[in-house]
């Protein structure tokens, strides 16, 4: 079985699907590895790093796509990249299939099988394959550093001969993987951290990291799936906004992390709330690629609105490309070795992890959620 790793083509993307260490592990497991020249450059892995562990360096993407039995990527491939794959090959990458119907159709047309890293079930035995968590962890850390860099003040309380500096107040909206890592990072830097989440079960996790939980009365309209909020009523969002208005107005830094899979991100920070924030305060909107938790956010831009700096970076893991690639590579190694051996894929179609992540198989849509549409 020949594994192919093309260079990522998405704008602002510096990650690569596998590291030299994982390349060595897969070759030891009996796979061949073909990687496009300079594919690892953005993550500080040289072609020599890969060739020294037994990988073959390909001159261009076509040489990878046209010969590999398995294509490993970070981002969803472009339609022309899918068309380059040989019939019967298998793609493993983030696909976001529910909202990327053109890609699914392209996989069907090309006669390939495809697994989506974002669709791996969030169960205990799949934790080592959970790329959403590994990348969100790094993103949560980076948001705090971006916010700290944009602020005109320090995070911790500092007592000096010239006077005492009060600690920063940070409000984090969403206590998922990214939000909890942001809490931990901000606390280590000495800030006062308050956290809002519509899932009451996250309160204990927030408090264990030293954060204060902003509690909103429960709502029967809230539904969750795979650890994410699937839907929430407009009435509840309004209640939440009213409760956090005061906290946001007093905050030095606000970090928003709320996403609803397959839907536009909910608005958590309104323009009116931004107007009431202190001059010089900062918002980091992690949901900017899905419309943003703040309507004033702009994709991949840092803007100043009403005296507030709003950071809208869409690819935070890529800003920590070395670690992000290393972790993603471990995720994909565990996933691949669960699915296949050097002889081929097992195709255990009723097995929970396979069934949850397999989008197309031999040119047919097989994922249950997509078949219903």
- Note the pLDDT tens digit of each residue in 17-29: 999 999 999 999 9
List, for residues 334-353, the tens digit of each pLDDT value. Answer: 999 999 999 999 999 999 99
Helix, strand, coil in percent for the chain, rounding step 5: 40, 20, 40
Phi, psi of 99 (to 5 degrees): -115, 5
Q: Is 241 tagged catalytic?
A: no
**Catalytic entry in 48, 127, 208, 233:** 127
96-125: average pLDDT: 95
169-196: average pLDDT: 97
List, for residues 199-231, the tens digit of each pLDDT value. Answer: 888 999 999 999 999 987 655 555 555 555 555
Residue 240's pLDDT band (cuts 50, 70, 90): confident
C-alpha distance from residue 29 to each of 2, 47, 334 (Å): 12, 21, 12
List, for residues 351-367, the tens digit of each pLDDT value. Answer: 999 999 999 999 899 99
In this prediction, residue 373 carries a pLDDT of 47
**Catalytic entry in 69, 118, 130, 197:** 130
Alpha-carbon distance 210 to 63, whole Å?
51
**Catalytic entry in 122, 188, 219, 249:** 122
In this prediction, residue 230 carries a pLDDT of 53
Contact, 168 vs 191, CB < 8 A?
yes
Q: Is 290 tagged catalytic?
A: no
**Percent of the chain whose pLDDT exceeds 70:** 95
**Catalytic entry in 43, 113, 116, 133:** 133
Q: Is 65 tagged catalytic?
A: no
Check the CA dihedral 118-123-128-129 and report its sign. negative
In this prediction, residue 220 carries a pLDDT of 54
Q: Is 50 tagged catalytic?
A: no
Q: Report the Cα 93 to chain-centroid distance in Å.
A: 12
3 state DSSP class of 70 = strand
Q: Where are the alpha helices (DSSP H) in 111-209?
A: 131-150, 177-188, 203-208
* DSSP for residue 327: H
Residue 198's pLDDT band (cuts 50, 70, 90): confident
Contact, 118 vs 358, CB < 8 A?
no
Q: Which residue has the higher pLDDT, 157 or 231?
A: 157
Q: Which domains does the chain have, with CATH numbers?
A: 2-129+320-364 (3.40.50.720), 139-319 (3.40.50.720)
Q: Which residue has the higher pLDDT, 244 or 89?
A: 89
Does pLDDT of 103 surpass 60? yes
96-118: average pLDDT: 95
**Catalytic entry in 66, 199, 228, 249:** 228
3 state DSSP class of 210 = coil
């Amino acid at each position: 079985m020949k594994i192919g790793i093309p260079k990522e083509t998405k704008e602002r993307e510096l990650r690569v699907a596998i590291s030299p260490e994982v390349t060595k592990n897969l070759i030891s497991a009996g796979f061949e590895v073909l990687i496009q020249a300079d594919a690892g450059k953005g993550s500080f892995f040289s072609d020599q790093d890969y060739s020294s562990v037994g990988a073959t360096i390909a001159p261009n993407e076509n040489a990878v796509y046209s010969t590999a039995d398995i294509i490993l990527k970070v981002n969803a491939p472009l339609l022309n990249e899918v068309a380059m794959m040989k019939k019967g090959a298998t793609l493993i990458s983030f696909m976001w299939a529910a909202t990327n119907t053109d890609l699914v159709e392209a996989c069907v047309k090309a006669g390939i099988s495809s697994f989506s890293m974002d669709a791996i079930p969030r169960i205990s035995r799949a934790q080592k394959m959970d790329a959403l968590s590994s990348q969100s962890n790094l993103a949560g850390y980076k948001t705090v550093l971006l916010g700290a860099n944009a602020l005109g003040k320090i995070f911790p309380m500092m007592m000096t001969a010239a006077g005492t500096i009060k600690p920063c107040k940070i409000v984090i909206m969403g206590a998922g993987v990214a939000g909890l890592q942001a809490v931990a990072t901000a606390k280590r830097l000495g800030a006062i951290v308050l956290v809002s989440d519509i899932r009451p079960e996250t309160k204990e996790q927030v408090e264990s990291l030293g954060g204060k939980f902003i509690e909103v009365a429960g709502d029967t309209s809230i539904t969750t799936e795979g650890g994410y909020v699937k839907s929430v009523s407009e009435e509840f969002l309004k209640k939440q906004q009213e409760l956090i208005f005061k906290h946001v107005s007093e905050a030095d830094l606000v970090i928003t992390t709320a996403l609803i899979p397959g839907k536009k991100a909910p608005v958590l920070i309104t323009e009116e709330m931004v107007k009431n924030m202190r001059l010089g305060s900062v918002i980091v909107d992690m949901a900017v690629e899905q419309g943003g938790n703040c309507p004033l956010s702009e994709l991949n831009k840092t803007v100043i609105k009403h005296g507030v700096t709003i950071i809208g970076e869409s690819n935070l893991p890529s800003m920590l490309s070395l670690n992000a690639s290393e972790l993603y590579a471990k995720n994909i190694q565990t996933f691949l070795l669960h699915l296949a051996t050097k002889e081929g894929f097992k195709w255990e179609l009723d097995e929970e992890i396979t069934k949850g992540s397999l989008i197309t198989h031999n040119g047919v849509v097989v994922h249950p959620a997509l078949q219903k549409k």
